[in-house]
Amino acid sequence: MSDHQKILVIEARFYDDIADKLAEGACAVLVEAGYSVERVPVPGVFEIPAAAALGWNSGQYAGVVTLGCVIRGETDHYDHICREMSRRLMDLSVDDQMPHGFGVLTCENRSQAEKRADPAATNVGGRAGEAVIAMIAIKSKFLKTD
């Protein structure tokens, strides 16, 4: 399998149990579709965009899936982290033509996060895997050199 059949899965590990469930869902979808997966941990969601840019710019991957969780606290830290991380990932997707599956949860509480991460429930990780596969196909359609 060529490197262009490999998907980079970046996991913010601040909430390990939630990250594991998100990765379980994403990896199942990607492997079933015939992709190999390279999982790279980062400390928290704020570090995801830098890791995504480094990985994507290496030329080794067909796409990137980003996974993590931010749970609202008592300060506005949540808003800043969510806004900056999301904006930079969108910039990478558009400006660098990076096929991307966004699987970062932004929740009010742990219960919401656990439900959304669970592959047997909302399965946000699996949905992020499906999204990157769709975006790889879209990129391929528009960048054909025939």
| Residue 51 belongs to domain spanning | 3-142
Least Cα distance to 128 among 50, 46, 19 occurs for: 19
Q: Which residues pair with 7 in a beta bridge?
A: 37, 63
Known active-site residue 77: yes
Render each residue's pLDDT in the chain as its tens digit; 146 residues.
344 599 999 999 999 999 999 999 999 999 999 999 999 999 999 999 999 999 999 999 999 999 999 999 888 888 899 999 999 999 999 999 999 999 999 999 999 999 999 999 999 999 999 999 999 999 999 987 65
What CA–CA distance (Å, rounded) separates 18 from 123?
11
CATH of the domain at 21: 3.40.50.960
75-112 exposure pattern, b = at least 16 Cβ within 10 A, e = fewer = eeebeebbeebbebbeebbeeeebbbbbbbbbbeeeeb
How many angstroms separate the first and last alpha carbons of the chain? 23
Choosing from 4, 77, 80, 100, which is the catalytic residue? 77
Q: How many domains does the chain have?
A: 1
